[in-house]
Structure 1
Amino acid sequence: PWNLTWPNESDINIPLSPNQIYYSLNKNNTSWYHYNLASLYWRQKGDAQKALDCIKRSLHFAPRYFKDVPMLNLGVMLQRAQCTAEAAILLHSVIDHAPHKPKGHFLLANVYTALGDYNRSIACYDNALSLKPNWGVAKRARHAIVCHNKVKNTLNNLQNSIQN
């Protein structure tokens, strides 16, 4: 197993209580949806290993159409654990599986930003925005990366002109 650790993710919004998730899994232990919710619960509590175990089960039981949901969850976990190269590989698989869902493109853009590959990041934000044109978070993130890239290029040009 991966050795992933991080603090509690209190910003995760889970639509069911822990007791409801537990009850649902006891009633139907093949529910991919409830295993995915359980993984969010364990991420919220900061227990990466239990979150991973639930994601694996969710992925195993998910119908083909919904496989992208636990894969996105795992991609976010990998990114937060600073396994960005692995997150990029996984998120490319998500996009191959569900190319018309904007969230995969958006999360891959975030990973490319973390890797410092701003051109690919902007391209992924563009893909997400082509699928969901009024997505404010994606618009703001793309704008921030474009601005950052311009500042970086300007500073590099300035440094080169000073050295010459």
Structure 2
Amino acid sequence: MNLNVFMAYLAVCALCLQIPITNSKTSTLWKLNADDRKITGRIEEDKDMVLLNSAVNDKYKNDDVFNIITSTIAYGSTWSKQSVERSCDIPCDGSDNDSGVNLKGIPPTASVVTVVSASKTALKKTNSELDEVLDCGKPVNFTYYDYLIGVAQRFNHPLIPEPDVAYLFLKNKDEKSLKSFDISLLEKRLKRARKDKPRSVHLYNQIGNYWRIRGDARQSIECFRRALSISPTNAEVLLNLARVLYNLQYLDDAIHLTRRSLEVQPPDRSAWRQYFTLGEIFKAYGHFQESVLHLRHALELYPQHEPILKALRDVENNPTSPLHVYTILIIAALVIAVFIVIITSSDNSDACVQQSEFEPKIQRHFNRAMAMRSLKGFSSRNFKHRKY
């Protein structure tokens, strides 16, 4: 009995010794007030305090609980937890934050509403910048050209920039205008146009050409697919998609789309780009006669265009009927085989002649009795069948 009383006494003493070393700050009542966007705490003075007050911040800057609470920021109707290092999205010293918003004019004792409103403005700006990514929206599920290998493999294409596509956006189609072309200005213009007409086939086509300049084949193909899902027989979009696949060396897909674009091309519009593309594709195939034919036709429709002239010069410098190495080897092998056959046959014939010369001739003796017997049988047969 005395032992039990002694153990209870020791337990009470141990609890009493823990009271002086207990941190009173752990009993602070933290409150997240979503109505006025304030984070308050009930501390020793038995009154609510705004936790962003500089005096409170200095007093509790080493408190882990305080750092957790002050790094919780209200964004709209939700509370977002930031890391301690990034808790200065609501800066304690009034310096600039990562979002680019200057909060130096906000006093240290400002209310949380003022600071949070500034942070919300910075967040809206950041969100607007993220939303301004120039694309054509969510990819469409199906188009009539998804069976093409180059379209089906669009997620695996490498980056191949096409700087000559900038000619499509230039008024003056010359080298000087191309060198002064600013793609960032084009991007801003397309972003403004997307806000005005978000579902325009022409806009999707232009954004696809923009990504062709950048070299992102996947983005350009997705934009062209979206345009073709709205207008499957748009000749310009079909041709641009064919150009993308041609640069990726999907020649069968490219020639199919180019011919389809030529079929649906309006009669009041020039088709020089289709013929120019066909000339380049046939050149890649090695069919130089067809390539020259289409390039000359394109030059007739668009005279003195430097890319056509350059491609035509390159094709005309090549032989019209090229003999590949394997073709030459096959012809040489056939010629050698024919000579071998002729030589062996002549040798066999000479050997036969020589052998016949050395062999003795067998002379047959004339047998008069056998000759008379055969004549007698012949005459008897003739007289037997004669009728009088």
CA distance in 2, matches of 1:132, 1:27: 33
Aligned to 1:51: 220
Structure with greater strand share of residues: 2
Q: CA shift at 1:21, angstroms?
A: 1.4
Aligned to 1:77: 244
Task: Output the aligned Cα RMSD.
Answer: 2.8
Residue 17 of structure 1 aligns to a residue whose secondary structure is: helix
Aligned to 2:282: 112
CA distance in 1, matches of 2:162, 2:275: 24
Q: CA shift at 1:10, angstroms?
A: 5.5
CA distance in 2, matches of 1:152, 1:59: 39
One-letter amino acid of the counterpart of residue 219, structure 2? K
Residue 317 of structure 2 aligns to a residue whose secondary structure is: helix
Q: CA 1:55–1:35 in 2, change beyond 3 Å: closer, same or farther?
A: same
Gaps of 5+ in 1: none
Q: CA shift at 1:63, angstroms?
A: 9.6
Aligned to 1:40: 209
Aligned to 1:2: 152
Q: CA 1:115–1:81 in 2, change beyond 3 Å: closer, same or farther?
A: same
**Which deviates more, 38-47 or 86-95?**
38-47
Instruction: Report if aligned partners of 2:161, 2:216 keep a CA contact under 8 Å in 1.
Output: no
One-letter amino acid of the counterpart of residue 263, structure 2? D
Instruction: Report if aligned partners of 1:55, 1:70 keep a CA contact under 8 Å in 2.
Output: yes
Q: CA 1:2–1:123 in 2, change beyond 3 Å: closer, same or farther?
A: same
Q: CA 1:71–1:85 in 2, change beyond 3 Å: closer, same or farther?
A: same
Instruction: Report if aligned partners of 1:108, 1:121 keep a CA contact under 8 Å in 2.
Output: yes
Instruction: Report if aligned partners of 1:33, 1:62 keep a CA contact under 8 Å in 2.
Output: no
Show CA shifts across 1:23-50 (max 9, x none).
3223212212211111122223333222
Q: CA 1:44–1:143 in 2, change beyond 3 Å: closer, same or farther?
A: closer
TM-score by length of 2: 0.36
Figure out how many residues of one structure are paired with residues of the other and give that number: 158
CA distance in 2, matches of 1:128, 1:10: 21
Q: CA 1:22–1:61 in 2, change beyond 3 Å: closer, same or farther?
A: farther
**Which deviates more, 2-11 or 33-42?**
2-11
Q: CA shift at 1:133, angstroms?
A: 3.1
**Which deviates more, 124-133 or 73-82?**
124-133
Residue 319 of structure 2 aligns to a residue whose secondary structure is: helix
Gaps of 5+ in 2: 1-150, 170-184, 336-388
Q: CA 1:10–1:137 in 2, change beyond 3 Å: closer, same or farther?
A: closer
Q: CA shift at 1:61, angstroms?
A: 4.2
User: More relative contact order in 1 or in 2 (CA 8 Å, sep 6+)?
Assistant: 1
One-letter amino acid of the counterpart of residue 187, structure 2? P
Identity among equivalent positions (%) equals 21
Alignment of 1:9-20 (within 5 A): 9=161, 11=163, 12-13=165-166, 15=169, 17-20=186-189
Instruction: Report if aligned partners of 1:103, 1:128 keep a CA contact under 8 Å in 2.
Output: yes
Aligned to 1:133: 303
**Which deviates more, 71-80 or 98-107?**
98-107
Structure with greater helix share of residues: 1
Instruction: Report if aligned partners of 1:32, 1:58 keep a CA contact under 8 Å in 2.
Output: yes
Q: CA 1:125–1:133 in 2, change beyond 3 Å: closer, same or farther?
A: same
Instruction: Report if aligned partners of 2:208, 2:219 keep a CA contact under 8 Å in 1.
Output: yes
Aligned to 1:97: 264
Instruction: Report if aligned partners of 2:288, 2:320 keep a CA contact under 8 Å in 1.
Output: no
